[in-house]
Structure 1
């Protein structure tokens, strides 16, 4: 029985470390797989009144950068590719 006494604490430690590693990459460039882009963009565009254009551009940006900034607005510094992609007119391409 003594062999298994440290098992619960080791399991909890592994869960905490896995969660910390996942958080450390959240929102960073290249942190998403292409199939994760629609869900990330759904959240990113959830509070805008211009949902269809937001989703279209967000998904384009995510496909290129494999990153969507956290939250529904701002935080673009988390994804330099997403932040620096500009329109022909020089405005931000990504929402």
Structure 2
């Protein structure tokens, strides 16, 4: 049963990385779309985008924590 922990950890890391990549792509594409529609708001939109990307990047960190718990517990 020890091998199943490694598989579960790999799935946790893969899933969280995939979700973060999708989320970042969505946030950045919508920000670029918004900037093309309203260029005067570009500085506000970029700031909001960086905050959103930072929050989304917490997902893979949590995935790594879960993977480490699965391996070492």
Alignment TM class, shorter chain as reference:
0.3 to 0.5
Larger Rg: 1
Bigger fraction of residues in helix: 2
Taking structure 1 as the reference length, the TM-score comes to 0.32
Higher relative contact order structure (alpha carbons within 8 Å, sequence separation ≥ 6): 2
* Length-normalised TM-score, structure 2: 0.39
